[in-house]
Structure 1
Amino acid sequence: MESMEGFLYAQQDKELSLRTTYTPSFIGLRQRDGLWVDSFKGQGVIIGVIDSGIAPGHASFLESTVIGAVSFQSGKIGPPIDLKEEGHGMHCAGIAAGSMVPDANVRGIAKGIASGVAPRAHLAIYQSCTETLL
């Protein structure tokens, strides 16, 4: 942002932790009744995520939801690997179309079935930025 014309100053207020394991229920979708049950849960849809990439082999993406993935970092084309399994790209892709993962939790809290809103959708991952590892 600092390189954008007109940008003056920004200061990070505070760092927030990601704690949404079961996004569908968080927004009122239920597995046994209501709109989500009668939907196709994203089947036949491709969702493009332009972010910091994903961690290969993560349980949220094992059910072949990822149909394309590419990184455009440093002028090279390669896999969109997010070395932080808790990165922003992982979080956004998982919320959109993460597979249903039983017994999921975030550091021992928010236990339950983790799922994206459209777990049957396919993902096309584009890594356009990276996060600094702390």
Structure 2
Amino acid sequence: MRSARELWEAAYKAVEAADDDALRDLCGADIEIRTSAKHQRGPDALAALFAQQRGLYTGLEKTVDGVIESADGRAMAAELTLSGLPNGTDERLTWGVVETIRADGDRLVSWHAMLDRTWLVQQIQANQR
């Protein structure tokens, strides 16, 4: 049985390789996906979330700032710093995200990702001046 962290790391490898099928294979059939904007279910929803991000930005970069894991390995939280160039611009944006992940067996069953919208909006506004 793989831990939540192992599944999360495998998911990001699939995301970085743009391998949506591999990402879907890591998910339970009823995985819950929650962001600051949406609450959805199913592997297709998680794949679509990352496909949307790839479609909006080029040069995406991810830094893992910290990870906390449950003792049984079934849950974890990660603090990330993400950055990318919005399509059609040359101004890199950076934003913070906190993700909480739960696993059951060898499948992801919950992926919650909350981003720091204020930080992102402030950068966009500064770039428009």
TM-score (norm 1): 0.21
More helix by percentage: 2
Return the TM-score normalized by structure 2. 0.22
Structure having greater relative contact order (Cα 8 Å, sep ≥ 6): 1
> Which entry has the higher C-alpha Rg, 1 or 2?
1
